[in-house]
Structure 1
Amino acid sequence: MSKISLKQSLSKLGIAIFLTYLSVAMALPVVSVFVKEVLNLPNWLGGVAVGVSFVATILSRKYAGDFADTKSSKKCFMIGFFFYMVAALVCMAASITGLSASVSFTILIVGRLLLGIGESMTTVGIPSWHFLYLGPVHSGKILAVLGMAMYGAFALGGPVGLTLYRYFGFDSVMLASSIVPIIGVIMFVTSPEVAPHKALEAKKSFFKLLRSIWKQGMTVTLQGIGFAVLGAFISLYFKDQGWPYAGIGLSLFGIGFVISRILFGTLPDKIGGVKVALVSLVVETVGQGLLWLAPHYSLALLGALLTGLGCSMIYPAMGVEVIKRISPEQRGAAFGGFAMFQDVAYAFSAPIGGVIADKFSYSSTFLFGFIAAVGGIIIVRSMMIKNLPINNTDSTL
């Protein structure tokens, strides 16, 4: 792989995921608002509508990983793009006038479940294809570009979704979300198939894979709670406080995320993931603390920016080390299992945050994120104190 073609491939990956992931990003801050303001249902159901897509993602991760490893990583993510389109159209049907709140909510849940399947197939298939095409030596760069594109999409998609919702309604957001995945299909339709690795040794079971990476996975789970509550409730939090610039909060999160990936994206490959994750979690903790205690919207916005800066590098830092532990023929399954830990955070944090918001306040949801980030620091510190480098060759599968 030449240096020029590497840059071209990573650029194509970034552009395609950025544009395609707008399908997810535009809907994320709008779903809970739609459930609360249009369907007049409680916050916890808004959280369920946000989180249920990640339950579907969790349940389909093993299938997606096996599909990418044994059949076709390209077909895996192309199917994911298709599910994105269908899911948005189903969600759009939830806004049909004349439907009862319960029927609309049920339709919305079906659409969000389909979105979760698309999320699983896309975010397992596309990095797996690039691991095969570019080689695992570039796994850190691949994961950094992937995450930068995804959260860059949140930086743009959040305010775009809220603006469309404000002026044209929920159905306009879903219509736009159904169109943008077509870009990903067009960009990769002519890309070559890359044959999966042939099994050279007995594969370990999926659950044994999970046990071998649980510390790295739990770090990602605890990191993801802060992002999940921010994505689901920052708009409602700002509205409840009477603050302006709710959409800017999501943008600042995304900007912080992208800046961190640009400046520090190569660090996990150079110095290892544990050190990078520790510093990142400290920054996220400060950001969540500011959101929780902010007396003014400016400090809350700063908290959103710091949360993005902190969250950014934790996933690739842990992911690079996980990839090093896994034999080539199981990288898709292992990556799917690793990503599943983050899905757990996204699936359950929003519903739990909704319960917290109903019983206490929207600001209390960020206390939840603060505590989770502190828990992540404790786990990462234990890796350092016990001197257990996760790239130990003795643990290679």
Structure 2
Amino acid sequence: MSSSSSHATNPSGTSAFAGLSPVVLAVFLGFLAVSVPLGALSLEVGGNLGFGTIVVGSVIGLQSLATLLTRHQAGTLCDHRGPRRAVLIGLPLAASSGVAYVLSSVLPVDTAGKLAFMIAGRLVMGLGESLFLTGLMSLGIARLGADRTGRVMSWTGIAIYAALGLGAPLGLAAQAAYGFLGVGLVACLTPLLALAIIVRLPPTPAAGGTRVPFHRVLGLIWRPGLVLALAMVPFAVMAAFLPLHYAARGWSDAGIALFGFGAAYVLVRLVAPGLPDRFGATRVAIGSLSFELAGQVLLWLAPTPSTAALGAVLTGLGFSLVFPAMGVLATRSVPPDQRGRAVGNFIAFADIALGVTGPAVGLATQWGGIATAFLVGATATLAALLLLPSMKLGKTS
């Protein structure tokens, strides 16, 4: 694909900020509906309804399963009907998950009935998130041009993690004030606000092209997807095991290390969102993964909490640009008419990593202690680094 054609869908006279800001805001609002119910669901299902931890974990995990299974179809819809169409379907579906939570609170049904509404809400949100996130990322690329894919990936990533960070406390506050009904109302409202933003944007043309089997797209993007999945392992390890590591060592203030990780992640995204586009995705990925590897080794061997906090900061610095760097490689490894499917399948690798890491690392820590979690993170990052030299861009035209 020629350089000129990569700009073909970029609105005339539209700056990067003007083109991307409504998309980023819509991602943030849409993902609030994903994150707001997370903490509240565990309290509602496990506390108020009295179900066990297996049921709690299954209900929460159903969304990720539904999302994973529909990523390719969401990308196909983006390519054939345009990314805006996928968003306009996905956001109302996401809002309907909040409706299911509201119904579980207000209808006179028994605990099994309430659980059924929550399960329905999780499944519908999984499909909705698959559609709106794949669509919004594809829409951002279409509005700015394929040569600024890294910038799109960076800023939408900030919106996702900001929503994940703010959503859980917001959901718990709504639950404390209004019960699970309040959680459902917030989860219903935020996607509708995102929808109000997107309906005002002009549609971008669909890439068209023939239907492509899942395995063919996967064959083109599996290497950057696998690098992303391996790089996600330290992130999942940090979230699940860093507080336990501090507690096992008798250290306090694990929150400082987690804040350092998050602050470093956001800082890099804010000051250098376009590095993969400017200096090359592979080069940026090598530097990023090197920082991430160093951070995980420091956490594994840390003799003091300050050393562990430094490891957390290095991990955040490194992890920050892996997603946009690999996203650039994934989207440029396929023809333009398969870009939506590439985005959907690429994100699915992150879904898999987040779903598998917790149980797998939990088993490892039973054998080697809590610090082993960071050894697993370091090993995964090293594997990602070793995989990079084997990657070659496929033809895009």
Mapped contact 1:154–1:251 kept (Cα < 8 A): no
SS in 1 for 2:15: helix
Aligned partner of 2:292: which letter? E
Is 1:14 paired with 2:24? yes
Is 1:184 paired with 2:184? no
Rounded to whole Å, the distance in 2 between the matches of 1:242 and 1:136 is 49
Is 1:144 paired with 2:146? no
**RMSD value over aligned CA atoms?**
3.8
Mapped contact 1:223–1:281 kept (Cα < 8 A): yes
SS in 2 for 1:26: helix
Structure 1 residues 2-57: Cα deviation after superposition (integer angstroms, max 9, x where no partner): 56533212122222222332222334456567667665734x66554444322211
Please say which of residues 235-244 and 81-90 is displaced more in the overlay.
235-244
Structure 1 residue 167 displacement after superposition: 7.3
Mapped contact 1:158–1:247 kept (Cα < 8 A): no
Mapped contact 2:23–2:198 kept (Cα < 8 A): no
Q: Map 1:312-391; keep pairs closer than 5 Å.
A: 312-353=320-361, 364-380=372-388, 382-383=389-390, 388=391, 390-391=392-393
Is 1:268 paired with 2:276? yes
Paired position in structure 1 for 2:288: 280
Picking from 308, 317, 321, the partner of 2:316 is: 308
Structure 1 residues 60-82: Cα deviation after superposition (integer angstroms, max 9, x where no partner): 01210111111231121122222
Mapped contact 1:86–1:114 kept (Cα < 8 A): yes
Aligned partner of 2:75: which letter? G
Mapped contact 1:29–1:233 kept (Cα < 8 A): no
SS in 1 for 2:205: coil
Rounded to whole Å, the distance in 2 between the matches of 1:160 and 1:315 is 26
Mapped contact 1:217–1:338 kept (Cα < 8 A): yes
Picking from 215, 219, 239, the partner of 1:207 is: 215
Question: When the two structures are superposed, what TM-score results if normalisation uses the length of structure 1?
Answer: 0.80
Q: Which runs of 5+ in 2 are unaligned?
A: 1-10
Is 1:125 paired with 2:127? no
Mapped contact 2:265–2:319 kept (Cα < 8 A): yes
Mapped contact 2:75–2:344 kept (Cα < 8 A): yes
Is 1:41 paired with 2:52? yes
SS in 1 for 2:200: coil
Rounded to whole Å, the distance in 1 between the matches of 2:294 and 2:191 is 35
Mapped contact 1:226–1:288 kept (Cα < 8 A): yes
Picking from 77, 80, 87, the partner of 1:67 is: 77
Paired position in structure 1 for 2:64: 54
Is 1:76 paired with 2:86? yes
Rounded to whole Å, the distance in 1 between the matches of 2:179 and 2:246 is 20
Mapped contact 1:356–1:365 kept (Cα < 8 A): yes
Structure 1 residue 307 displacement after superposition: 3.3
Rounded to whole Å, the distance in 2 between the matches of 1:169 and 1:296 is 41
Is 1:135 paired with 2:145? yes
Paired position in structure 2 for 1:222: 230
Larger radius of gyration between Structure 1 and Structure 2 = 2
Rounded to whole Å, the distance in 1 between the matches of 2:347 and 2:227 is 11
Mapped contact 2:81–2:208 kept (Cα < 8 A): no
Aligned partner of 2:381: which letter? A
Mapped contact 1:238–1:246 kept (Cα < 8 A): yes
Please say which of residues 282-291 and 208-217 is displaced more in the overlay.
282-291
Mapped contact 1:124–1:336 kept (Cα < 8 A): yes
SS in 2 for 1:176: helix
Aligned partner of 2:351: which letter? D
Structure 1 residue 122 displacement after superposition: 1.3
Aligned partner of 2:396: which letter? T
Aligned partner of 2:271: which letter? L
Structure 1 residues 224-254: Cα deviation after superposition (integer angstroms, max 9, x where no partner): 2232344456677778888776776665544
SS in 1 for 2:24: helix
Rounded to whole Å, the distance in 2 between the matches of 1:237 and 1:164 is 31
- Distance change in 2, residues 1:157/1:248 (3 Å): farther
SS in 1 for 2:52: coil
Rounded to whole Å, the distance in 1 between the matches of 2:369 and 2:187 is 30
SS in 2 for 1:191: coil
Mapped contact 1:94–1:108 kept (Cα < 8 A): yes
Structure 1 residue 180 displacement after superposition: 1.9
Q: Which runs of 5+ in 1 are unaligned?
A: none
Rounded to whole Å, the distance in 1 between the matches of 2:373 and 2:51 is 21
Percent of matched pairs sharing the same residue: 32
Rounded to whole Å, the distance in 2 between the matches of 1:116 and 1:334 is 19
Please say which of residues 289-298 and 55-64 is displaced more in the overlay.
289-298
Paired position in structure 1 for 2:6: none
- Distance change in 2, residues 1:378/1:181 (3 Å): same
Aligned length: 385
- Distance change in 2, residues 1:206/1:40 (3 Å): closer
